[in-house]
Amino acid sequence: MQIYTPPIKDYRFLIEALGCAELFEMEAFQDFDSETLLAILEEAGKFCTEQMLPLNRSADTEGLTYDPADHSVTTPQGFKDLYQKFRKTGILGLCQDPEYGGSNAPYILGAMIGEMTTATNKSFSMCPGLTNGLVEALAHYGSAAQKDTYMTKMISGEWTGTMCLTEPQCGTDLGLMKTRAVPDGDAYRLTGTKIWITFGEHDLADNIIHLVLARLPDAPPGIKGISTFLVPKINHDGTRNSIYCTGLEHKMGIHGSPTCVMTMEDATGYLIGEPHKGMKTMFVMMNNARIAVAMEGLGLSEISYQTAVAFAKERRQMRSLDPGKRDMDHAADCILVHPDVRRMLLNIKATNEGMRALGIWTAMQGDISLHHADEERRNHASDLLALMTPIVKSYCSERGFLNTSDAMQVMGGAGYTADWSVEQYMRDIRIAMIYEGTNHIQALDLVGRKLPASGGRAMRSLQKEITGFIRSCADNEAMNEFLDPLKDASKQLTELTMHLAAEGMKDQEEAGAIASNYLNVFALTMLAWIWAVQIKEALGRDDAYAATKIKTGRYFFHQILPERHSLAAIMVAGKQHMMAFDVDEL
């Protein structure tokens, strides 16, 4: 049984609460307003629920077929048809350049739809997800001719895209890359093996365009010697290029998403951007891709939550511990009378609604940073985007995974079976903590790159945002209940940031040891802030939805935010007890 209601009500609320109307005043987004956004979300949500969700479980069970004879990959039954329908929805080009068929919608819309497509069919959603990444790289670094050749076909979904980064000896450490590219006229010949290539081969589209990182003959060593190439499966003249899928990984989840080993032998490729500047091309895609992963964590957490709630509303076991709540018309009470069942469900609900708000707010900073008329506003938003991206990627993927486990626990044995699919959601989301930069890489990005950049300007931008918000609540007494813990958490975060800066200056290894816990304290503090923002909006309303929102926020402040205490205590313990062991002692 698969259950999903698109969170349109929450999107509607957030568009208001986060002040997204600001976006529609920008020239780039003048064709949009809240209602057009919501209409698109309704449509997309309907498509996800009616078309994508029904193929989710069957794809997991059926999996993929690889034929070594012709290197082909057959996707699960129904995917080909679903893909053609998906193309027609226009989701693929929603946030892309109109010149090539896109709709140039704000990225917040992409983030919201990303939540829904992942929730309803994570495996399938990865194909357009990768294509989008490639389109973005092309939009930034492709030549006019490259854009003409590829972008329209990829935005329409006629062709799909991949990212070929990882090799057997290098995942996190791309500097160890071996794939080489040798100039050959206007093109290059690429040779090497790439692994973990999502939708590297499949039967959904006529052509697959691979974005491949490789080294030119004159490349300097390390990541400063990596260039980016486009390697199409089918050459411009219709011949088959020598890039082949030579195997599929067998994975814990995302069984409908082919994870390919790709082998190139003198494959024809075309340089994108400047030689040796490939990492720059990668970085342009990272913000959006990492926010997308945050929304993935949220998406599977949300569908797991909805499934567990639906189960709990039907399931009757034991009597309420409060005699007044016993339903004597039945032999047992609905399990929602039990406080621990509520505790588990509310842990999910309160973090989900916080993560959704924070993810969309971060995506909005991306929109502002690109399209606001005022340069100062653009820079401010750019700072916030850079700072928050690793935080939301790491926190939402980890919490999303843990939430699927809590949802399973609510359902007991039923949750462990395939019948309700929560076990699939758990398996499918676990990869999000690993890919697109492991969560610790996010923590290192935060402490090593984002915090120190421009003399710590991003953190000051953020503090300005938070103190500005607190000031805006000055005459709002009902907010004090939430502002007090927010101020506490914010003060603690400042202290821990200073601790990190002082220790990290002396010893980078110390910074590395505490980065992951620091990131989580940071995330909790930001969730407290975004919850306060939501509560402020809800307090100004007088409806049932707003009343529930306030209760959920209150739950967050009392039952989730205190998680920061232990993280802080463990963080300041530092590296010494980790580094005390010789390798052989582990």
558 binds its own copies (CB under 8 A): yes
Round to whole Å and give the CA distance between 365 and 374: 13
541 binds its own copies (CB under 8 A): no
318 binds its own copies (CB under 8 A): yes
Q: Which residue has the tokens 């999996």?
A: 63
| DSSP notation for 158-187 | SEEEEEE--BTTBSS-GGG---EEEEETTE
Is 136 within 8 Å of 285 (Cβ atoms)? yes
Burial 4-23 (b: 16+ CB within 10 A, else e): bebbbebbbbbbebbebeeb
> Which one, 478 or 578, has the nearer CB to its own copies?
578
Round to whole Å and give the CA distance between 173 and 492: 33
> Which one, 101 or 448, has the nearer CB to its own copies?
448
Rg of the chain, C-alpha, whole Å: 24
> Which one, 384 or 408, has the nearer CB to its own copies?
408
User: What's the closest the beta carbon of residue 375 comes to its own copies, in angstroms?
Assistant: 36
> Which one, 129 or 142, has the nearer CB to its own copies?
129
Q: For residue 136, give both structure tokens.
A: 């973005």
**In this chain, which stretch among 386-394, 414-422, 476-484, 526-534 interacts with its own copies, using CB under 8 A?**
414-422
295 binds its own copies (CB under 8 A): no
Return the axis-axis angle of helices 34-47 and 107-141, rounded to nearest 10°: 90
> Which one, 250 or 471, has the nearer CB to its own copies?
250
* The one among 511, 521, 528, 538 contacting its own copies by CB under 8 A: 511
Q: For residue 281, give both structure tokens.
A: 């091309």
Q: Which of residues 89-128 bind its own copies (CB under 8 A)?
A: none
**62 annotated active-site:** no
140 binds its own copies (CB under 8 A): no
Q: Which of residues 559-578 bind its own copies (CB under 8 A)?
A: 559, 562-567, 569-570, 573, 575, 577-578
> Which one, 430 or 450, has the nearer CB to its own copies?
430
Q: Which of residues 420-459 bind its own copies (CB under 8 A)?
A: 423, 426-427, 430-431, 433-435, 438-440, 443
Count residues binding its own copies (CB under 8 A).
93
Q: Which residue has the tokens 């529609």?
A: 24
* The one among 260, 513, 538, 539 contacting its own copies by CB under 8 A: 513
Q: Which of residues 321-350 bind its own copies (CB under 8 A)?
A: 321-322, 331-332, 334, 336, 338-340, 342-343, 345-346, 349
User: What's the closest the beta carbon of residue 437 comes to its own copies, in angstroms?
Assistant: 11
3-state secondary structure of 240: strand
User: What's the closest the beta carbon of residue 323 comes to its own copies, in angstroms?
Assistant: 9
Round to whole Å and give the CA distance between 311 and 254: 24
Round to whole Å and give the CA distance between 33 and 409: 41
User: What's the closest the beta carbon of residue 80 comes to its own copies, in angstroms?
Assistant: 26
Q: Which of residues 176-215 bind its own copies (CB under 8 A)?
A: 176, 195-196
Q: Which of residues 211-240 bind its own copies (CB under 8 A)?
A: none
What's the start-to-end Cα distance of the chain, in Å? 44
* The one among 171, 247, 275, 452 contacting its own copies by CB under 8 A: 171
548 binds its own copies (CB under 8 A): yes
> Which one, 83 or 425, has the nearer CB to its own copies?
425
Round to whole Å and give the CA distance between 119 and 296: 7
Backbone angles phi, psi at 182, to 5 degrees: -115, 130
> Which one, 173 or 206, has the nearer CB to its own copies?
173
User: What's the closest the beta carbon of residue 534 comes to its own copies, in angstroms?
Assistant: 15
User: What's the closest the beta carbon of residue 481 comes to its own copies, in angstroms?
Assistant: 12
3-state secondary structure of 229: strand
**In this chain, which stretch among 22-30, 171-179, 235-243, 287-295 interacts with its own copies, using CB under 8 A?**
171-179
* The one among 56, 75, 516, 525 contacting its own copies by CB under 8 A: 516
255 binds its own copies (CB under 8 A): no
Round to whole Å and give the CA distance between 70 and 312: 48
Q: Which of residues 263-292 bind its own copies (CB under 8 A)?
A: none
Round to whole Å and give the CA distance between 548 and 60: 35
Backbone angles phi, psi at 207, to 5 degrees: -145, 155
> Which one, 74 or 409, has the nearer CB to its own copies?
409
User: What's the closest the beta carbon of residue 438 comes to its own copies, in angstroms?
Assistant: 6
540 binds its own copies (CB under 8 A): no
Number of C-alpha atoms within 13 angstroms, CB side, residue 386?
25
CA angle 376, 23, 548 (to 5 degrees): 115
For the beta carbon of residue 284, count every other beta carbon within 10 angstroms: 17
Q: Residues 353, 423, 436, 510: which is the catalytic one?
A: 436
Q: Would you say the C-alpha torsion 398, 403, 406, 408 has a positive or negative sign?
A: negative
**In this chain, which stretch among 121-129, 149-157, 204-212, 247-255 interacts with its own copies, using CB under 8 A?**
247-255
CA angle 43, 305, 119 (to 5 degrees): 40
User: What's the closest the beta carbon of residue 572 comes to its own copies, in angstroms?
Assistant: 9
Q: For residue 327, give both structure tokens.
A: 């339903």
Is 345 within 8 Å of 308 (Cβ atoms)? yes
Active centre residues (catalytic): 436
